[in-house]
């Protein structure tokens, strides 16, 4: 065998081993490296949660309360992702983090303030006692000559 041919073959074998070894070491480093962080899937817009609300009377246009109001207060579309109990469902994001009272977001105080507000804000955002949704509230809760009171 020709000495030049033998050197050429040895050189090729050495280069192949270096490339294979280098490639394997990079692969090993990739396997040992922590996986990249998964970014949270965001379905709703930035103002949806309302966490950035400065003035509660003027929530952002994309606030979820505005959406629910536009749905005539029907919250069944929320159940698809958050579950009927609002505990997280398939989204694994619980509405009860903010709406912690019994009934979650469907608790009367979610929209109407404290348990027995006097007067409350009605569904049309009126606070004047001359508005039917506001003025009748105390007599319905506390009772009057015609009733012993009505629970929420």
Could you tell me the pTM of the whole model?
0.50
Residue among 123, 117, 120 nearest 134 (CA): 120
pLDDT at 117: 54
Q: Which two tokens stand for residue 9?
A: 């073959």
Name the residue with tokens 């619980």: 94
Q: Which residues pair with 147 in a beta bridge?
A: 144
Does the pLDDT at position 41 exceed 90? no
User: What residues form DSSP beta bridges with 144?
Assistant: 147
Per residue in 53-108, pLDDT (tens digit) is 666 667 788 888 888 888 888 899 999 999 999 999 998 999 998 888 888 898 87
Structure tokens at 33: 């490296």
CA separation, residue 148 to residues 59, 134, 135, 138 (Å):
36, 19, 17, 12
DSSP class per residue in 84-125:
TT-S-GGGT--GGGT--STTGGGSHHHHH-SSS-SSPP-TT-
């Amino acid at each position: 065998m020709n000495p030049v041919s033998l050197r050429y073959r040895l050189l090729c074998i050495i280069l192949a081993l270096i490339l294979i070894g280098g490639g394997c070491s990079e692969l090993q480093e990739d396997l040992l490296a922590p996986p990249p962080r998964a970014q949270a899937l965001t379905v709703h817009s930035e103002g949806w949660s309302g966490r950035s609300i400065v003035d509660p009377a003027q929530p952002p246009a994309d606030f979820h309360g505005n959406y629910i109001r536009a749905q005539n207060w029907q919250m069944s579309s929320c159940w698809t992702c958050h579950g009927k109990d609002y505990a997280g469902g398939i989204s694994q994001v619980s509405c009860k983090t903010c709406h912690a009272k019994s009934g979650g977001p469907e608790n009367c105080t979610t929209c109407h303030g404290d348990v027995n507000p006097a007067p409350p804000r009605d569904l049309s955002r009126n606070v004047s006692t001359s508005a039917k949704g506001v003025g009748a509230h105390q007599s319905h809760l506390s009772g009057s000559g015609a009733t012993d009171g009505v629970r929420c």
